[in-house]
Chain A
Amino acid sequence: MTSRALAWRTVTAERPRAVLAVVGVMVIGALLFDMLLLSRGLLVSLRQMLDTAGYDVRIVASDGFPIRSAIPHASAVADEVARLPEVREVTIVRTDRAVVQIPGRRPVEVALVSLTEGAERRVWRLAAGRDLGSDVRTNSASPPAVINRGLAEALALGPGSTLRLRVIVSGAASAVPATTFEVVGVADFEFDSADEYAVATTFDAFRRARASTASDDADVILVSSKPDVESSATVAAIERRRPDVRAYSNAQLVARFDENGFAYFRQISFVLSSITLGFAFLLVGTLLTVSVNQRLGQVAALRALGLPRRRIASMLAWESAFLVGVGGLLSLPAGWALARQLDGILRQMPNIPDRMHFFVFEPGIAAWHLGLLAATGIAAAVYPVWIATRLPIAATLRLETIS
């Protein structure tokens, strides 16, 4: 009989114990898997979000990004950047806070957005009605607006509805008059979050709403490099041409978030992964050690029958492999199910875009997970193997007989 068959018999002889051990490994393994998903989840998710928008460089006013600071004379900056040989497309993004006023109801705060004409398709997907554009005509004299689905559902708005909003002027008492928009479309915005409402309009209407027709500030300028140009080359070219602004590639942005905002999740992931691995090691090691101690007579008898130490060691290693292997494999689906629950909890934080997730699967993580569990199983088997292979055969058998 092979070592593997012997180990299988031992494991199946004590089914309740084996099932409980496998369940324990599965639960702990699921937690380990989730912590590995969490370690890079936000970064991967953020990178995916940034990349899918189609822009690989972002221009902001200062180094203090993401703290909001307006880029003055944004149109001039965008024109200059657009003329660079590395650049394919430039989009100016202007945002402001506003409140939607509805008679008899509490005002609803929204983000008022304006994009360079033609860039709308990259930033939102139209769900109903028409898009913004130079050719769009409203039924009334009101300027057009595209609203996100959340706002449309919350206020029961749709194409043809009117929307009255007033821009919030931060830090000062303001008498900016309200502006009435006509909703021409409802869309899913790329960076939508469940708790944020958005209203997009044309640049002219945006300036009218802010009662500031001379203002040409922007929050961010999005740049798309030509296909054969590296983002870093575009960043360097922009900063050479306009040293008064800061340009970041998507990779640089992700790295900056990694250093700051996401550091907590990386740290907590590291701490919990380490503890989980240590925990699994201790528990599997304890189970195997107790199991070996209960079978010392049996092991001594096998040795007395001529079974070499190598096979005894191999048998115990197989036992560990069965417990950790089955539990580890089961931990993948269990971990994924748990990750969805934990993701749901963390996504309750405010202003988390709908497409952003804390737990993101990457094939490499599953391999890492199984590798770590395998290493833990091997390490946990070391001590029981040492006991089983070093025990004195005659003395053990004698003790077994007289007890």
Chain B
Amino acid sequence: MGPAARMLVFVILALVTVRLNADTPDTVRRDPVRLKPDTTYAPARLQADATNVKADATHVPEILLSRQLMDQARVHVGDVVTLATDADGSHATRFRVVGTYEPVPDPRKFSARRLEAHLHLPDLIALTLDPKNPESSDQVSALNLSLLNPRDAGALTAALARRLPGMGAQSTSQSGRRDDPFAVLERFHEAIALVTVTGSTAFLLALMVMRAEERREIIGILRLMGIPSRSILVEVLLEGLLIAVAGAIFGILVAVAAQGLVNRFFQWRYDTTLVFVRVTRSIAWKAVGFAVPLGVVAGLAASWTLLRRSVISLVRR
């Protein structure tokens, strides 16, 4: 893999959509299920209850289960399942599975098993109703807002904090904060890319020095023939430019090919449709912008040492 490819791989790692969050919710022995009718959710237990399908199929409310939950619970469309919000299964409600869905990829949950279900809101309220709390039928976990002007997000957050103490609002756009986990990860990948480029440069220089040494006699003969050093340097420059551009293009092609493999591996590993690596145009240009000057400068630096030597020392065997 050429330096451009190496660099590109790491720049990709640095700048694209590798996302994580350390506090992703976990699913454990009791298999809590997240119910998500838009913004209201509650943990619940799911139990397959296929024996009574025919008896109550027309009366039971409908439910959609995530693909992962369908697989894990070995439930099929048309089955009747029982959901309960507590571990002992009291206040359970039976639902008929009418379909399945793929959860929207969430970088903050990429390592969590997405055991989720969608219910109609009245069904969810009935399921999670707490008889001791009369307000429980009118409680939600979160509200999604769409602003007329997205730039008002900060003002809205401040206004909500003033008017509704205890409530918090957060913009879904990038926070821009320096301690944002994704921003931190981006800096981490950029640092790794920088180190890799440094190592590559050392190797590249070593190779170019060897290559220049290999052509010592040819350069000596050219200079004996009267060709000025500047012309030879221009030739080296053009040659280096050509090789660097070719290397950069090859590197981008390798990265484009590799992104599919990387995505498929991680999507298989975490059972998600999240895209982990994406070669964007800006990343490709950035890689070219690094690789081409680096290759040209390395070639020039290696040749310059030869051109400074006397002709006799160049042709001497």
Known: A171-B141, A261-B111, A264-B111. A290 touches B192 (CB 8 A): no
Q: Contact between B206 and A24 (Cβ–Cβ < 8 Å)? A: yes
Contact with A along B221-254 (1 / 0, CB 8 A): 0000000000000000000000000000000000
- Residue B150 interfacial (CB < 8 Å): no
Q: Contact between B195 and A66 (Cβ–Cβ < 8 Å)? A: no
Contact with B along A23-35 (1 / 0, CB 8 A): 1100110110000
Known: A31-B192, A349-B179. A64 touches B26 (CB 8 A): yes
**Alpha-carbon distance between A85 and B26 when the two chains are bound, in angstroms:** 32
Cβ–Cβ < 8 Å partners of A286 in chain B: 203, 207
Cβ–Cβ < 8 Å partners of A63 in chain B: 26, 28-30, 32
Q: Contact between B192 and A348 (Cβ–Cβ < 8 Å)? A: no
Cβ–Cβ < 8 Å partners of B111 in chain A: 259-261, 263-264
- Residue A65 interfacial (CB < 8 Å): yes
Q: Contact between B6 and A262 (Cβ–Cβ < 8 Å)? A: no
Contact with A along B167-198 (1 / 0, CB 8 A): 10000000000110100110110011001101
Cβ–Cβ < 8 Å partners of B211 in chain A: 290
Chain B nearest Cβ from A347, distance in angstroms: 9
Contact with B along A165-179 (1 / 0, CB 8 A): 000111111100000
| A260 touches which of B112, B200, B205 (Cβ 8 Å) | B112
**Alpha-carbon distance between A170 and B112 when the two chains are bound, in angstroms:** 24
Cβ–Cβ < 8 Å partners of B22 in chain A: 261-262, 349
Known: A30-B195, A264-B111, A287-B210. A67 touches B25 (CB 8 A): yes
Chain A nearest Cβ from B116, distance in angstroms: 14
Q: Contact between A345 and B32 (Cβ–Cβ < 8 Å)? A: no
| B166 touches which of A170, A195, A278 (Cβ 8 Å) | A170
Cβ–Cβ < 8 Å partners of A345 in chain B: 184, 187-188, 191
**How many residues of A are counted as interface, with CB atoms below 8 angstroms from the partner's CB atoms?**
54
Cβ–Cβ < 8 Å partners of A256 in chain B: 26
Known: A27-B198, A291-B210, A294-B213. A261 touches B29 (CB 8 A): no
The chain A residue with its CB closest to the CB of B199 is A27
Q: Contact between B191 and A341 (Cβ–Cβ < 8 Å)? A: yes
Q: Contact between B199 and A31 (Cβ–Cβ < 8 Å)? A: yes
Cβ–Cβ < 8 Å partners of A20 in chain B: 202-203, 205-206, 209
7 smallest beta-carbon distances between A and B, as pairs: A27-B199, A63-B28, A20-B206, A24-B202, A261-B22, A24-B203, A264-B20
> Which residue numbers of B lie inside 8 Å of A, CB to CB?
1, 6, 9, 13, 18, 20-26, 28-30, 32, 43, 87, 110-112, 139, 141, 164-167, 178-179, 181, 184-185, 187-188, 191-192, 195-196, 198-200, 202-203, 205-207, 209-211, 213-214, 262, 266, 269-270, 305
18 A–B pairs (Cβ distance < 8 Å), ordered by A: A17-B210, A17-B213, A27-B195, A31-B195, A171-B167, A174-B165, A256-B26, A261-B23, A264-B20, A278-B1, A286-B203, A287-B203, A287-B206, A342-B188, A345-B187, A345-B188, A345-B191, A346-B188
